[in-house]
A and B are shown apart, each in its own frame.
Chain A
Amino acid sequence: MPTCNFWIDGKQYTAEAGTNLVDAARANGIFIPSLCYFPHLDPPLGTCRTCTCQINGRYNPACTESVREGLKVEVYTPELVDMRKALVEMMFAEGNHFCPACEKSGNCDLQHMGYELGISTSRFPHLFQDRLIDYRPERLVLEHNRCIKCRRCVEEVFTADGHRVFMYLNRGNETVVGIDYEQAARLSDAETRQAAKICPTGAILLRGKTLAEPFGNRTFDLHSVQSSYQHPISEGPPATPRKKKTIATVSLAGCFGCHMSMLDIDTEFLEVAELVTFNKSPLTDIKTFTQRCDLGIVEGGCANAENIETLRTFREMCDILVVMGECALWGGVPALRNTFPLGECLEEAYLHSLTSEPGERTIPYSEDLPKILNRVYGCHEIVEVDYLIPGCPPAASHIWKVVKSLLWGGDDSLLYAEFKYD
């Protein structure tokens, strides 16, 4: 094939005519986010839409386009950047993606796209659908909570005599990837490993596999594929003199891990202590606000009515409100219960569990106890939130960069390795 000239964001590039646009862009140093794309599949899957660009003026995924002479592509317009983020956010909202509790964390393509695109949290409300974890296959576990229906396994995994092992079932929002137990059993061990490997998320897992690499050290943990990775914290005001400010903090339905992480800046904490006064905070043990604060930092989501009351007080008493950690952002680990009715959770915990007293019939209820909500809510569902810090827990450097930037202005941006969900 002859080479051809094509244009990305107004700049001219060359590639062999007929090369898939995603590959042609990458070869020219331009990163087009993609998830379902698999280089050798023809026709391409075009299911996740994460690589949507404007191609000769029309919105289309880059993966279903091959370069030809004169092709004009827009990739990094603000609208397209936002659109692609929205698609990845939609996948997070649709499934039940608990990164801190996922075997694939750090090796997950979905998570990776979240990092590359700088997604703090999904703009979409999480759907929290109860989904199956299928333990029936002999060598695999199918974790439907994490499946993004990219179709890779459907089109890639076949038995030696050409039978499909995976297939879409149902339709619409009920679409799931089904597995044929009989055919799955006929795969070789290598083919089974390959099936788990091509899954971009942790939806296809190998049974009995120990995880050799520790979290923090995996494929996508440390280095961005974008040479110019830059995740600005906010377009804040220019730097101002570091006048002393007042901060309040609280942990709602969380584990205090984010507060622990705050302390992880070690000796730098001495600098912080000179710059800020802590008002209401577990760090000071001040129980109620004694003054209005410049900044409020909230860990944890809202699992009961008291959490809501506390959060609203924070919103009222703090000029700027920052929420940190996965729990505060969208529910996090406590939101594991969100796919079940509250009654089922309470009855399991207090009546039917192994540790409950035989014949126990009481679920704690008193007017003095905070009332438990039907599900766990992220803070932004309850009040306006100014800034969200992802992570479980967020890196100390991330937290303090945000605090400093918000309180005293100045440009700052996060490093790829500081921006994590686990």
Chain B
Amino acid sequence: MSSPSTFPGYFPVEPARSQLLAELWQHQLQAGYISAAAIQALAGRHHLSAVEVEGVASFYHFFHRQPAGRHTIYLNNSILAELRGFDQLQAAFETATGARIGTVDPTGTFGLFTTPCIGLSDQEPAALIDFYPFTHLTTGKVQDIVQQLQQGARAADLCDHPADHIRYTPPAGRTIFFAPYARGEAIRQLPALGPEGVLEQLRIADLKGRGGAFFPTHKKWAACRATEDALKFIVCNADEGEPGTFKDRVLLHSQPGSVLEGMVVAGYTVGARYGILYLRGEYRWLAPTLHAEIAAFRAAGLLGTNVGGMPGFDFDIRLEIGAGAYVCGEETALLESLEGKRGEPRTKWFYPVEKGYLQRPTVINNVETFAAATRLLQLGTTAYLQRGIPGSAGTKLISVAGDCQRPGIYEIEWGMTVGELLDLCGAQDPFFLQVSGPSGECIPATASDRRISLLDLPGGNDIRCGGSFMIFNRGRDLVSILQNFARFFKHESCGVCTPCRAGNFLIERKLERLQNGLADRHDLEDLKSWGHIMKATSRCGLGKTATHTLVQAIEKFPAYFAARFADTDNSIYRKFDLAAAVADYEKYKPKS
């Protein structure tokens, strides 16, 4: 049996092992890397073998096993950054710092690395330096920043303060998420409602999970409430990793109270004492805002003992900070990560409401879901149901980015059409739209009359949107976008199951063939078939959805793909680039 956690802020019921990520962070931030000695020390403290600690450290890409520079710079290599000039930004940083991407400069001052989407798609080109955000970067700005850092300035002082860019809220005060907020309004209703009353409100409003799976919230909470365990947890999933999504960032920055209050409401409803907000490492810079809000809640008696003046209702919240792993957005992977382990999704042997964090019943919801729960209690079901359309009530936060004039957050009422949203954001000559990120759906811009709602299941006429809406114009090359997605999934696969670990790599290779003009009709058929196999056999949502866009794109843009292989039908030869295949050997041709 592991000893209890003694780490500041951790709950006494948590074992020491749970603090492993936080300890690794300490080493990373203090030394710039996780040394072999640090691994040994942590292994000794937790009675683990060194390889087990190393397994955890090497899973998260913000943990380095080699010195990563006094200043560590992360460039976002997501597709939206690529469109906004990733190459120039890389060149600017390489020139200014003297470090090549993926390495540290010879003086050990700057480490230059890439990372997938940092949640600033509306202010690209952007980067994290020492985990502080820098937005709207230009070559000149990069030179200036690097120079100041060299002269001893701190990234914390130089960094930008990313704007929220809330571009649209429903007219006539129909906003749900950005209405005036006063701490405790929802909590004060709890004694009158009682747990069953809360569940009833959720059920009437038909609130569904906003992480993208849209599971009815009342069912999840009721299932957890029904468990007998005396120790239960509420976990807020703020691991917003889907490229192109930044709504949770804005919510946590502009409305942190509504999120925390939703967690308290959940704790009251299911009978949990402890809440943990798992914040992605990319949003480290938001931690002070959240800590301040937690402190304000405590001061107002909305966290701690007898919360909201309710005798016997104790509830507290702490933060846990991720360390760079998209897959931790998958709820069971996130739970593993909270336990100080590799963020590998569990088999679906149990649901988290049965056995979640520390194998205890756990409600795990998205940031937006908790905020929506708070707002629902604040507004009341009648007003809530007046937003949106019948059968799909309420509003949805959508992060809009890409080829449009006004990227940012759009709070739309469910039922808005794609065309309306494109007009609102000033889309420029759109060709196709990527809804819900790379793992979501790709739709032609001509489908402008399709509604964004929860009325249909995925694949129906109405589109479900998990939170991201990326716009690509006619000048964009679909295959290179798909390549970017494939690289992302290859890098972010947890590596446990075969179809996702190997499959994404194989897909990336195949797309490279396609991009190099070496593909023929077989290759397109292969891509579709492999995509289906990965979808059917992968262990978690990452692998199951990784090829979704690819397969859809091949089906929805036949003319685009046909144009690429017009010349190769019915050949008995497979396409082969002999010149490229002998290029290595030609280097040994004697110079005459």
Task: Determine whether the beta carbon of B584 is less than 8 Å from that of A343.
Answer: yes
Which residue from B347, B499, B504, B585 sits with its C-beta under 8 Å from A173?
A: B504
User: Across the interface, do A125 and B502 meet the contact criterion of CB distance under 8 Å?
Assistant: no
Decide if B573 touches A382 in the complex (CB within 8 Å): yes
Name the CB-closest residue of B to A168: B55
Name which residue of chain A comes closest to B582, CB basis.
A371
Residues of A10-67 at the interface with B, using a CB-CB cut-off of 8 Å, are 43-50, 52, 59, 61, 64
- Identify the interface centre among B54, B491, B495, B590: most chain A CB within 10 Å of its CB: B495
Stretch at the interface among B174-182, B271-279, B535-543: B535-543
Is A183 a contact of B497 with CB atoms below 8 Å? no
Chain B residues, Cβ within 8 Å of A182: 49-50
Minimum C-beta distance from B284 to chain A (A): 20
Whole-angstrom distance between the alpha carbons of A353 and B50 in the complex?
38
B31 interfacial contact with A, CB 8 Å: no
Asked if A225 lies at the interface with its beta carbon under 8 angstroms from chain B, I say no
Question: Are B583 and A374 in contact (CB-based, < 8 A)?
Answer: yes
Q: List the A side residues contacting B496 at CB < 8 Å.
A: 47, 149, 151, 168, 175
Docked complex Cα distance between A49 and B536 (Å)? 10
B50 near A94 (CB under 8 angstroms)?
Answer: no
Given the complex, which residues of A lie within 8 Å of B350, measured CB to CB?
A: 43
* Chain B positions within 8 Å of A179 at CB level: 51
| Nearest B residue to A364, CB-CB | B588
Is A166 interfacial (CB 8 A cutoff)?
yes
Partner of A83, one of B497, B502, B505, B536: B536
Whether A163 touches B48, Cβ cut-off 8 Å, given contacts A168-B495, A169-B54, A343-B584, is yes
Q: Please name the residue on chain A nearest to B348 by beta carbon.
A: A64
User: What separation, in Å, do the CA atoms of A382 and B575 have in the docked complex?
Assistant: 7
Is the C-beta of A204 less than 8 angstroms from some C-beta in chain B?
Answer: no
**In the complex the two chains form, is B503's CB within 8 Å of A90's CB?**
yes
Report if A253 contacts B (CB, 8 A): no
Q: Which of B501, B526, B537, B581 contacts A373 (CB 8 A)?
A: B581
The residues of A that contact B572 with a CB separation of less than 8 Å are: 315-316, 383-384
Q: Which of B478-521 contact A (CB under 8 A)?
A: 490-499, 501-506, 509-510
Establish whether residues B509 and A127, one from each chain, have CB atoms under 8 Å apart when the complex forms. yes
B 42-86 binary contact with A (CB < 8 Å = 1; else 0): 000001111110110011110000000000000000000000000
Question: Complex: how many Å from CA A45 to CA B349?
Answer: 10
Is B51 a contact partner of A183 (Cβ separation < 8 A)? Answer: yes
Chain A residue with Cβ nearest B495:
A175
Contact B585 A148 (CB under 8 A): no
Contact pick for B573, options A59, A312, A372, A377, CB 8 Å = A312
How large, as a class, is the contact surface on chain B?
35 or more
Instruction: Looking at the assembled complex, report how far the CB atom of B272 sits from the nearest CB atom of chain A, in whole angstroms.
Output: 24
Residue in B50, B501, B509, B538 with the greatest tally of chain A CB atoms within 10 Å: B501
A381 in the interface (beta carbon within 8 A): yes
When the two chains form their complex, are residues A167 and B574 in contact, meaning their CB atoms are under 8 A apart? no
When C-beta atoms are compared, the residue in chain B nearest to A315 turns out to be B572
B537 touches A59 (CB 8 A): yes
Main secondary structure of the interface of A (DSSP, over half): mixed
Contact with A along B154-174 (1 / 0, CB 8 A): 000000000000000000000
Q: How many Å from the CB of B113 to the closest CB on chain A?
A: 15
Assess whether B533 is interfacial by the CB under 8 Å rule: yes
B464 proximal to A (CB < 8 A) = no
List chain B residues, Cβ under 8 A from A171: 58-61, 325, 327, 342, 491-495
A380 to B509, CA, bound (A): 17
> Would you call A305 and B502 a contact (CB within 8 A)?
no
User: Could you say which of A64, A308, A342 contacts B347, with CB atoms under 8 Å apart?
Assistant: A64
Distance, CA A175 to CA B505, complexed state (A)? 12
CB–CB A47/B490 < 8 A: no
| CB of A172 closer than 8 Å to a CB of B | yes
Whether A382 lies near B574 (C-beta < 8 A) is yes
Given contacts A47-B497, A90-B499, A170-B495, contact A52 B536 (CB under 8 A): yes
Contacts of A342 in B (CB 8 A): 584-585
For B347, list chain A residues within 8 Å (CB).
43-46, 64
| Complex Cα gap A83–B498 (Å) | 12
Contact in complex: A373, B582 (CB < 8 Å): yes
How many whole Å from A155's CB to the nearest CB in chain B? Answer: 12
**Given A171-B493, A173-B501, are A372 and B582 neighbors across the interface (CB < 8 Å)?**
yes
Does B586 sit at the interface, judged by CB under 8 A? Answer: yes
- Which residues of B, 326-346, contact A by the 8 Å Cβ criterion? 327, 342, 344, 346
A175 to B55, CA, bound (A): 10
Residues of chain A contacted by B215 (CB below 8 angstroms): none
Q: Which of A45, A49, A343, A375 contacts B499 (CB 8 A)?
A: A49
Q: Which chain B residues lie closer than 8 Å to A44 at the CB level?
A: 347, 349
B574 lies within 8 A of A384 (CB): yes
- Taking a contact as CB atoms under 8 Å apart, the answer to whether B498 and A49 are in contact is yes
Contact with B along A237-276 (1 / 0, CB 8 A): 0000000000000000000000000000000000000000
Inter-chain contact A90/B498, CB cutoff 8 Å: yes
Residue A203 lies at the interface, judged by CB distance under 8 Å to chain B = no
What are the residues of chain A within 8 A of B497 when measuring CB–CB? 46-49
B509 lies within 8 A of A125 (CB) = yes
Cβ contact within 8 Å between A383 and B573? yes
Determine the interface band of chain A, counting residues with CB < 8 A from chain B.
35 or more
Closest to B493 in A: A172
Taking CB atoms, residues of chain B closer than 8 Å to A373 are 581-582, 585
Closest Cβ–Cβ distance, residue A8 to chain B (whole Å): 18
> Which residue of chain B lies nearest to A83 when distances are taken between CB atoms in the complex?
B533
Q: How many angstroms from the CA of A182 to the CA of B48 in the assembled complex? A: 12
Indicate if the CB atoms of A59 and B536 lie closer than 8 Å. yes
Shortest distance from the beta carbon of A298 to any chain B beta carbon, whole Å: 14
Q: Is the CB of B58 within 8 A of A170?
A: yes
Instruction: Report whether A173 and B573 are in contact in the complex, using a CB–CB cutoff of 8 Å.
Output: no
Give Cα A45 to B496, complex, Å. 9
Interface residues of A in 383-417 (CB under 8 A from B): 383-384
User: Is there a chain B Cβ closer than 8 Å to A124's Cβ?
Assistant: yes
Q: Give min CB distance, B590 to chain A, whole Å.
A: 6
Tell yes or no: A70 within 8 A of B by CB. no
Interface check A216, CB cutoff 8 A: no
B-side contacts of A64, CB under 8 Å: 347-349
> Do residues B538 and A49 form an inter-chain contact, with CB atoms below 8 A?
yes
In the complex, what residues of A have CB within 8 A of residue B574's CB? 380-384
Contact of A100 with B by CB under 8 A: no
**Complex Cα gap A384–B575 (Å):** 10
Q: Which residues of B contact A183 (CB under 8 A)?
A: 49-51
Q: Which has the most chain A C-beta neighbours within 10 Å: B51, B325, B346, B493?
A: B51
CA gap between A114 and B230 in the complex, in Å = 49
Task: Name the B residues within 8 Å of A49 (CB-CB).
Answer: 497-499, 537-539
Instruction: Determine the distance from Cα of A316 to Cα of B51 in the docked complex, in whole angstroms.
Output: 55
B563 at the interface (CB under 8 A from A): no
Q: Which residues of B contact A87 (CB under 8 A)?
A: 498-499, 533, 537
Count chain A CB atoms within 10 A of each CB in B350, B492, B574, B578 and give the residue with the most. Answer: B574
* Residues of B contacting A363 in the complex (Cβ-Cβ under 8 angstroms): 588
Binary contact readout A159-192 vs B (1 if CB under 8 angstroms, 0 otherwise): 1001111111111111100111011000000000
Query: Given A46-B539, A382-B576, A383-B574, A374–B509 Cβ distance below 8 Å?
Result: no
Say whether A164 contacts B498, CB under 8 Å: no
Determine if A173 and B493 form an interchain contact, defined as CB atoms under 8 angstroms apart. Answer: yes
56-100 of chain A: CB within 8 A of chain B: 59, 61, 64, 83, 86-87, 90-91, 93-94
9 closest cross-chain pairs (CB), A and B: A175-B495, A180-B51, A167-B55, A94-B502, A59-B536, A342-B584, A163-B49, A43-B349, A46-B347
Question: With contacts A47-B496, A183-B49 known, what are 15 further pairs, Cβ within 8 A?
Answer: A43-B346, A47-B539, A93-B506, A94-B506, A149-B501, A163-B49, A170-B495, A171-B327, A171-B494, A172-B492, A178-B51, A183-B50, A374-B580, A382-B573, A383-B572
A–B pairs, 11, beta carbons within 8 Å: A46-B497, A47-B496, A47-B497, A90-B498, A124-B530, A127-B502, A168-B342, A169-B55, A172-B492, A173-B493, A374-B582
